[in-house]
Amino acid sequence: MEEKKKKVLLIKLSSLGDVIFNVPLANALKDAGYEVTWLVSEKGIQVVENNPCVDKAILAPLGKWKKNGPCKENFDDYLRIIKQIRAEKFDIAIDSQMMLKSLYWLLFSGAKRRIISKEAREFAILGGNEWIDDISYAPDSPIVMNYLKYAEYLGIKPDEIKVTLPPRTNEQIAKIDGLLSGLDKAKPLVVIAPATTWGNKHWNKDHWKAVVDEIGEKCNIVFTGGPADNELIEYINCGRYLNLAGKTNIIELMEVFSRANLVLAPDSGSAHLAWATRNPAVITIFTCTPKEVLAPLGDKNKYIALGGQGMPCQPCFKRKCKLRNNINACTNSPTPEKVVEVINNLIFS
């Protein structure tokens, strides 16, 4: 008789980049024989749902709850999801979110073993009954490897860093075919995703414009982002190149990135999603966050991290600059010339 698989609940709710960083952990658990269920919010559901790294995805609609505010509908939703989780009778629950918003999910999961790192914040450590050492104690340890320490704690040592994404449907592929149909197939495709949710992660917008001015004639340039990014993109673009901001969902964006020769972005969900597609070269521009930890992991000739050093306050990991003088100075590095040099080396040398 085949031995029944142990069931594990992975609690990683957001953000998009952090969800992607946990995909290798989910794959390590799945390949080791666990049945994997992932509790995730709206920000990461499209990456998790139908991903071969999981058996089930459960949506915790944090965005909707925040928008609605305290109300009976939200409370009923929460109880329904808790009931669904407890009915699974999980052997293990892992909280890699490690914050207040994950505390109650871990605490009430019903799992026999509830595992969390000792470095958890906002009292989240109280949800566990097993505690592993800090997973990010080394300032230069890549974040993907940090999350894999949960697997290591369970005696799992994966042979590879396995990154998977959900498949695209024929309809989604056809939509991207249509959106990109006007491009010159003789030129390489460079996708620029210049925006992120942290203003202090944004690179100088005039630097973006200088890079586009320099490479525009020899590349197909496509901009991506959300509807809120159009003002920044149009400042950089000046109406010259294809702007897909607000025209794709996450799955369709995966398809765009998978066709690119190069993706250029700040430290953002877009940069990490491009890395997860495994096809394009990726240049990630760092300002206030640590590139040694957050840069795309792998071939140093394909995944290039720029900026993020040269000032005593870097990396500050702050959403808003704390400097009184020379505010947001880190957003001016690297120079446009340096970025153009790297682009030329990656796709034209």
- Other C-beta atoms closer than 10 Å to the C-beta of 122 total 12
Query: Which residues lie closer than 8 Å to 5 by C-beta, 6 or more apart?
Result: 33, 34, 35
Contact call for residues 306 and 338 (beta carbons, < 8 A): yes
Residue-level pLDDT at 328: 82
Alpha helices in 90-229 (DSSP H): 100-107, 143-147, 149-153, 170-179, 205-215
Same fold across 7-153 and 170-347: yes
Mean pLDDT, consecutive 10-residue stretches, the chain (349 aa), reads 83 96 98 98 97 98 94 95 97 97 97 97 96 81 95 95 97 98 97 93 96 96 97 96 97 98 97 98 96 94 90 84 80 95 93
pLDDT value of position 238: 94
Q: Give the whole-angstrom CA distance, residue 78 versus residue 39.
A: 12
Neighbouring CB atoms inside 10 A of 238's CB total 10
The structural domains of the chain, with segments of one domain joined by +, span 7-153, 170-347
Tokens 């994950």 belong to 102
What is the pLDDT at residue 35?
A: 98
In this predicted structure, what is the pLDDT of residue 311? Answer: 79
Pairing mode, strands 242-243 and 130-132: unpaired
CB 265 within 8 A of CB 194: yes
- Residues 306/286, Cβ–Cβ less than 8 Å: yes
One of 3.40.50.2000, 3.10.20.30, 3.40.50.300, 3.40.630.30 is the CATH number of 7-153, namely 3.40.50.2000
Candidates 3.20.20.80, 1.10.10.60, 3.10.20.340, 3.40.50.2000; CATH matching 170-347: 3.40.50.2000
CA–CA distance, 127 with 103 (Å, rounded to integer) = 5
Instruction: Say whether pTM exceeds 0.75.
Output: yes
Q: Is 88 helix (H, G, I), strand (E, B) or coil?
A: coil
Signed CA dihedral, 317, 320, 323, 329: sign only: positive
